Structures are given as C-alpha cells and as structure tokens.
Amino acid sequence: MSGQLSYCIGYLGADWWGSDARALATELRSQGHLLVERHYEDYFSTKWRSFALRAFRRLSRPLMAAEYNRAVCELLDIGALDFLLAFKGMLLDESTLLKFRKLGKPCYCVYPDVSYRDHGENIWKCLPHYDCVFTTKSYHLEDPELVKRVRCLQYVPHGFDPEVHRPVTLTARLKEYYGCDVSFVGVWSPKKEQILSAVIDALPDVDLRIWGPFWNRAQESVRRCWQKRSAYGDELAAICSCSRINLGLLSEAGQGTVEGDRTTARTWQIPACGGFLLHEDTNELSAAFAVGEEAAVFSTCADLVSRISQYLHDSEGRERIRLAGHQRCWTSLYSYRAAAERVLTFHRNRSP
C-alpha cells in the first residue's frame, strides 16, 4: 500500500467460506483497506430448503429486509466512510442508497449473476442509484435497457479466492470418497440437465457425480448422479482435486436477459484448485486460457461426450493441461484482484 490511499469501505455481501463476495473482500483487505461489513445472510438465509422454512422466509422477507437495511444505515454514522460497495445488493432498498447519496457517499455495486431480476425487484430498482455498476457478465454491456438504467456500467471478471480455491492434500479415504471420473458442481437448470443427460445416456459406465441445489427437479437418470447436496469451500476444492474431469457448464439466459454466461466463477475456481477443466467453448474462456493447453473445451453435447472419452483415456494429456491451467490461474492473478482494482481505480478517478 506504499504511496496509495487506504479507504474505509462499507461492504455489503456474504461471508461464507468460498463465496465470491468474500473473495472480493479478501482482495480489498490485502491491499490495506478497512471494511465495515453487513452480511445479508445474517438476516435472510438463502440456504433453507424445507417447505416450511422457505414459506416462512417468503412471508418474513419484508421484515428481514427492513432489519437488514436498518443495519446498513448504521454505517451512515461512520464519518470517515469513503464509499459503500454492495456485492449483488440482496435485500438492499433504494431508500437506503439515497440516504448515502444525500450525505455525498459514493455507492458502487459488483454484480455476479446472469440476471438483475432473478433475486427480487429491489436489485433492479437500486441500479440507478449506484455511481457505477461493475458486472461480471460482458454481455450486460450490450443490453440497451440496462445501459440506459445505470449511471455507469463496467465489466470486471469473476475470480477465485486464494485462501479457499487451492489444491488440498487428502487422505486415501477422502480421495476414494470424492474421486470420480466426471464431476459438476452448480445449480440445476434445464440446459445443464439436458447436457448431463446426454453424457449419461452415451457413457453409462462413466462415474458422473453432481453437487448443487435443486437437482431433485431433474429426470431420474440425472438425479441418480446427484449427491443430494451442494458443495462449497474446502469440499469444492476436494472435488476439483479428485475428479478426473471437472465440467464447466454455463447458465442460460435469465429473466430479462437474452444471453447466458460466457464464463462463470467455476471457470477460475476449478483450475485454481488444481482441477482439470472441460469447459463450454466461448471467446471469454479462450481469452483467459490457452485452449487445449490450459483448458479443454466442448461445443455440443456430442462433442462433450467425445472429449470426456478422449481425456479419460489420455491421463498424460489430462495431467499436462491440469498443471498448465493451475499455473495460469495463479501466475495471471485470476483472483478477484482485477475486480478490486477496477473498483478502486474508478473511485480514485471519479469526478467530485
């Protein structure tokens, strides 16, 4: 931090081990900044799965959101606060942002998801009140409705958390437990189910395992591969390390969007953990990794089946790509450092 300013930042996000919000906070702290945090999941659990708890959460959301916004407004008493930074902005109300703006405190948002409308209307309503929205989706820059709604829109890449997404040393017992031919870790969607169903039908003898929420919605053949839970943090690192092939499947378009992901957090997390990455072929992926040397790609379901067969039988080629991808991730600093630096640079250069 020599020769640089150190900021006091009101930081709004999540803090669970392995979250993208935590990864960005870690990068900001590593550069010497002070973060005063308010975690929305302290007020609103996103991991409840039972019908009763989800019903309670839905009915209680206005009360939980009001309590969260009161906690955020406590930051207004910090006279030395330089700016407010929301990661996604879950539960945040536009009236709260307006209070910060009235005091002359800049407000920024880093947004990591496909759609601004999939997590409640409050996110969409808050967009005009940020001095800048930093999106991890480059195609958002081409959305005329979104561009018109915000004051400023900039692209920042996803990244990994160096403390979380790293190779882990496992016992033989753990390697046997997590080890498989092919793994996918992520939320269910119709597109992902279709892709994995094609793999299962074509390669019935391949040990395919799925971790993530909502896969109970999938057809039976896919549901049998589901481990009936999600995997985060150290467990994600273990899965990436023990799977011969880790799939990078991308989300399709969400509410109010015409395009889906080109990269995702797993794009960086899998090779950072030392895993072999087999990813959907996109221009953004090939801009970050040398295709065929640092990551493998596929374009269609038939192509994916062919690539899985190829790399399961080519352990030397798989190992070479795995090691090169891991090295690229760490030497190119594909953490959230780039996102942190983009936010800080914008703040330093903004007009008073």
Give the pLDDT score at 1.
Answer: 43
- Examine residue 117 and state whether it is found in any structural domain, yes or no: yes
Cα distance between residue 352 and residue 350, in whole Å: 6
Distances 113 to 77, 118, 133 between C-alpha atoms, Å? 31, 9, 12
Give the pLDDT score at 305.
Answer: 98
Give the pLDDT score at 79.
Answer: 93
Which residue has 């207004």 as its token pair? Answer: 76
- The pTM (predicted TM-score) of the whole model is 0.92
Residue 179 and residue 323 share a domain: yes
Ramachandran region of residue 218, left (φ > 0), alpha (ψ -120 to 50) or beta? Answer: beta
Taking alpha carbons only, the member of 168, 136, 170, 169 closest to residue 153 is 136
CATH number at residue 198: 3.40.50.2000
Give the pLDDT score at 350.
Answer: 83
- Examine residue 106 and state whether it is found in any structural domain, yes or no: yes
Structural tokens at position 131: 């001095």
Residue 136 and residue 37 share a domain: yes
pLDDT along the chain (352 residues), means of 10: 74 94 96 96 87 91 95 96 96 97 97 85 95 95 93 95 94 95 96 97 98 96 96 96 97 74 93 98 95 97 98 97 97 94 94 60
What is the domain count for the chain? Answer: 2
Cα distance between residue 102 and residue 308, in whole Å: 56
- Examine residue 120 and state whether it is found in any structural domain, yes or no: yes
- Examine residue 3 and state whether it is found in any structural domain, yes or no: no
Residue 319 and residue 176 share a domain: yes
Distances 213 to 129, 196, 231, 246, 308 between C-alpha atoms, Å? 32, 15, 9, 17, 24
Cα distance between residue 274 and residue 335, in whole Å: 14
